[in-house]
Structure 1
Amino acid sequence: MAAKSFDMIVIGAGPGGYVAAIRGAQLGLSVAVVEREHLGGICLNWGCIPTKALLRSAEVFHLMHRAKEFGLKAEGLGYDLDAVVARSRAVAKQLSGGIGHLLKKNKVTVLMGEATLPRPGVVAVKGGTGTEEITAKNIILATGARARVLPGLEADGDLVWTYKHALTPKRMPKKLLVIGSGAIGIEFASFFNTLGADTTVVEVMDRVLPVEDAEISAFAKKQFVKQGMKILEKTTVVKLDRSPGKVVAHLQDAKGTVTADFDTVISAVGIVGNVEGLGLEALGVKIDRTHVVVDEFCRTGVPGLYAIGDIAGAPWLAHKASHEGVMVAELIAGKHAHPIKPGTIAGCTYCTPQVASVGLTEEKAKAAGYTVKVGRFPFIGNGKAIALGEPEGMVKTVFDAKTGELLGAHMVGAEVTELIQGYVIGRTLETTEEDLMHTVFPHPTLSEMMHEAVLDAYGRALHM
């Protein structure tokens, strides 16, 4: 029997893969998706979505403790960890089911199984009933990434957890060590700390949230410490000694090595691309540090083979993967596709307080040779923030002093992950300070701080 042929085959049904498949189908292509585990990938099932559900429970719990401030009474406060986790899993399940419906609606063929590429233009799918081969002129790799494992810090699911164990905890940690203070590490630290775990975060770099603007990192750290977290920067976990119910961590900084006891460790030290076992090397695909090397249109250099999302390198963000998926599908369909500008992709971290940013930090802008104008506005100067009881936060803008171009925007505080898109649109439209100053922001909203932070960069802030 001849192998079934498609216009486009997508390997992986995460936020890059399933979106690429839908866009391809919309454009009239015959599309197949191969997925080995879950529709929606890590993001929907074990990442972005279920973590936000957990963090929402923690946020509500935190607010319940502040009831008195709002003139409310809440007594006998507590939580049921199993119920918190069950809600998170139900949210993930609902959305994963929705992806199945969307693919079906768009007439995308879904094949569950392990994919390999035995020859150019051929995908072998190993499922429960054997292996079948399908063919296409265009193949998109969207296999994503997984947690990086450091020697000696391997997860065991009991004392040492990955993000997956942390999403379905069998118990509440009493004394928790989080290794790594990027988005994943700090979100789990925030969740468990809010629910009462004695939490320590270790970061090898000189500050927490190291990819963020230094001022924002410093502000966030101050809030984390205020909430009871211990933050150890410029520190490495060199060894973990495990014994029943206890982990002794050997922590090394410039002064030497100390030991500390914990009952739970979460390792969040980055990710590696899922590039193994696909047959990529034999096809001539270039791989650099577990990521497929691609050009601005996500082409691998092998005719008809593309790579999108986490497997194609930083930034490792679902929304970047989705947009690359759309771009590649449009390219395959013969449309005029636009490459994605990395400087217009926002990063969001859903700890308390939230952190969000787009474009260049002040430090990076200066290093790139720009003369900058910087504006700042604090939450304490905003009526809506005070009414919400959220006066801790800051909005920061970075402009090119010569042209007025918005180079970057950085925020920390309540709901900044929802606010950042205003500046993202500004960056995409190549907005200047003048456009932003002339924009009328509604009152009373948190978004007014975005206006004030622009005005402040030019010495024109009204409420400070």
Structure 2
Amino acid sequence: MRTVYDLIIIGGGPAGYAAAIRAGQKGKKVVCVEQERPGGTCLNWGCIPTKTIVTSAEVFATVAKSKSFGILCDEPQVDFAQIMARSRRVVDTLARGMDFLFKKNKVESIEGRARIETADTVTVIKADNTMQTLQGKAILIATGGLPKTLPNLVVDGKQVFTSRELLAAKKMPASMIILGGGSIGVECAYYLNALGCKVTLVEMLPHILPLEDAEIAAALTRSFQRQGMTVLTNTKAENIAVSESGVSLDLVGDNKKANLQAEALLVAVGVRANTENLFGENFSLKLDAQGFIAVDEHYQTSVKNVFAAGDVIGAPLLAHVATFEGLQALKGILGEGTPKRVDLFPSCVYCHPQVASVGKNEEALKREGIEYRVGKFPFSASAKAVILAEPEGFIKILTDTTYGEILGAHIVGSGATELIAEYALAMQAELTVDDIHATIHGHPTFAEAGAEAAASVRGSALLI
């Protein structure tokens, strides 16, 4: 007799593995189908390997300035092959941890490509082309996203890359043009430049990190330029040509046109839903205008008992949001009340200096006609930042004009991706800047800069 699963999960990334583990903890019979290995793009070809390489770049930069700390050593050199090898070792370590968690929670894992035939039937096509049919009471689609590419441009992993191919590169190009100044483009730009690649970062919108506060983006742009990068905004790429000698394209912006050449090109222009070959010929469901799967308040698709979560349902396209959505979708599947939808989440960009935010930025508040106050504190006035020789950047808090309710927090500087959690918690708990300021923060820490930023909203910061 064929096994009937309580839940078939397609995709083992943050949304899929979170739902799988929680369902296992609840005693449900669950199977997770993943084309590669559990962890998805984030663990295997995204967040984790990228941040590992960023860490290597930061170590290299620190060693290069060790003399200023009174430490004398030989001139550091980059071993790109070893950097990439370490990134894969980190991935392997965490992937084994995921395998352990699946076994611990009795989650069955099947490697192969899933195809949904009906609302309760999934076919798994394995690497050897054998097929396995699964039946389940519910299906959760958590297939994530794939990098967008450009028309008529072949991604070959030699001269033309997306972020995935870049993480498998055998050597670092001497020069690279990066199309797209979002978080992926910015992180890759940082580590490539830090390791010795000549980088040109091109963004068609008015500033890099288009979803971030404009003042934060401007500070990061200045930092990148000081680090030796060329940053071009309001600029489009046209006439892209690839030859054995490299890549050539025309840059068009501000009524000017110029030709640019480099050894390689990174396409980082966004993410699309990973739904290729997912649906059998007799199965379909509703997609939105951008091709992402449409879901209701219970994360259910247009087909009953078929649910979806994570990047495959669209923005904000963040791993930690996908984890949240996977857990909430499971509530919808199990009928455990009304699941929560994402309305408050931190955004984190792992370059140097780091960028992080939560809530609304100034541009959004102005568009919505909301009156607000601004509090700012520079890291140059932070003892911890000066100790670590990291005085670059600032914390910016936006509040309402009456109660000090936090409407948004934005950080550019060392440790930003850790510091943002305090503001996310404060906003979730509906605390005010006065509550943050009234909390004793350790000294010397980056966190006390956050308290000073909160105090500055009321004009009561001590250190500026």
User: What does 1:108-123 correspond to in 2, within 5 Å?
Assistant: 108-123=107-122
- Farther off after superposition, 221-230 or 104-113: 104-113
- Whether contact under 8 Å (2:300, 2:332) holds in the other structure is no
Name the structure 1 match of 2:349: 349
Give 1:283 deviation, angstroms: 4.0
The gaps in structure 1 that reach 5 residues or longer are none
Give 1:238 deviation, angstroms: 1.1
Counterpart Cα distance in 1 of 2:29 and 2:62: 50
Counterpart Cα distance in 2 of 1:341 and 1:430: 16
Name the structure 1 match of 2:234: 234
SS in 1 for 2:396: strand
- Whether contact under 8 Å (1:29, 1:333) holds in the other structure is no
* 2:336 maps to 1:335: yes
Name the structure 1 match of 2:154: 154
Counterpart Cα distance in 2 of 1:245 and 1:88: 29
SS in 1 for 2:44: helix
Name the structure 2 match of 1:294: 295
Name the structure 2 match of 1:422: 422
Name the structure 2 match of 1:406: 406
What are the Cα deviations for residues 162-200 of structure 1, in whole angstroms up to 9, with x where unaligned? 112211222222121111111111111101100111110
SS in 1 for 2:131: strand
Over 3 Å counting, the alpha-carbon distance change for 1:263 and 1:357 in structure 2 is: same
Give 1:212 deviation, angstroms: 0.6
Give 1:415 deviation, angstroms: 1.1
Counterpart Cα distance in 2 of 1:281 and 1:442: 61
What are the Cα deviations for residues 382-432 of structure 1, in whole angstroms up to 9, with x where unaligned? 111101110001000011113422111000011111111111111111222
What are the Cα deviations for residues 258-298 of structure 1, in whole angstroms up to 9, with x where unaligned? 11110111111101101232227954521121200112332
- Farther off after superposition, 112-121 or 272-281: 272-281
Name the structure 2 match of 1:323: 324
Give 1:255 deviation, angstroms: 1.6
User: What does 1:32-43 correspond to in 2, within 5 Å?
Assistant: 32-43=31-42
SS in 1 for 2:312: helix
Name the structure 2 match of 1:101: 100
- Whether contact under 8 Å (1:147, 1:270) holds in the other structure is yes
Name the structure 2 match of 1:73: 72
* 2:225 maps to 1:225: yes
User: What does 1:129-168 correspond to in 2, within 5 Å?
Assistant: 130-168=130-168
Aligned CA RMSD, in angstroms, stands at 1.5
* 2:63 maps to 1:64: yes
SS in 1 for 2:137: strand
- Whether contact under 8 Å (1:285, 1:300) holds in the other structure is yes
Counterpart Cα distance in 2 of 1:335 and 1:444: 45
Counterpart Cα distance in 1 of 2:298 and 2:397: 30
Q: Which amino acid aligns with 1:377?
A: F
- Whether contact under 8 Å (1:27, 1:330) holds in the other structure is no
Q: Which amino acid aligns with 1:318?
A: A
Counterpart Cα distance in 1 of 2:178 and 2:129: 42
Counterpart Cα distance in 2 of 1:338 and 1:119: 25
What are the Cα deviations for residues 124-165 of structure 1, in whole angstroms up to 9, with x where unaligned? 112236222212221100001111011144312111111122
Q: Which amino acid aligns with 2:34?
A: E
Q: Which amino acid aligns with 2:103?
A: K
Over 3 Å counting, the alpha-carbon distance change for 1:129 and 1:153 in structure 2 is: closer
- Whether contact under 8 Å (2:182, 2:209) holds in the other structure is yes
* 2:308 maps to 1:307: yes
Q: Which amino acid aligns with 2:204?
A: V
Q: Which amino acid aligns with 1:416?
A: A
Counterpart Cα distance in 2 of 1:133 and 1:165: 32
SS in 2 for 1:134: strand
Give 1:433 deviation, angstroms: 2.4
Name the structure 2 match of 1:177: 177
Q: Which amino acid aligns with 2:197?
A: A
Name the structure 1 match of 2:22: 23
SS in 2 for 1:237: strand
Give 1:123 deviation, angstroms: 1.2
Counting aligned pairs with the same residue, the percent is 40
Q: TM-score, normalised by structure 1?
A: 0.97
Q: Which amino acid aligns with 1:157?
A: G
SS in 2 for 1:420: helix
Q: Which amino acid aligns with 2:312?
A: I
- Farther off after superposition, 399-408 or 60-69: 399-408
Name the structure 2 match of 1:46: 45
Name the structure 2 match of 1:13: 12
SS in 1 for 2:328: helix
SS in 1 for 2:77: coil
Counterpart Cα distance in 2 of 1:43 and 1:259: 35
What are the Cα deviations for residues 283-336 of structure 1, in whole angstroms up to 9, with x where unaligned? 452112120011233221321111100001001011111111111223333433
Q: Which amino acid aligns with 1:249?
A: L
Counterpart Cα distance in 2 of 1:13 and 1:136: 17
Over 3 Å counting, the alpha-carbon distance change for 1:337 and 1:28 in structure 2 is: farther
SS in 2 for 1:82: helix
SS in 2 for 1:118: strand
The number of residues matched between the two structures is: 462
Counterpart Cα distance in 1 of 2:179 and 2:129: 41
Counterpart Cα distance in 1 of 2:413 and 2:339: 33
Q: TM-score, normalised by structure 2?
A: 0.97
Counterpart Cα distance in 1 of 2:252 and 2:234: 8
Counterpart Cα distance in 2 of 1:335 and 1:233: 47
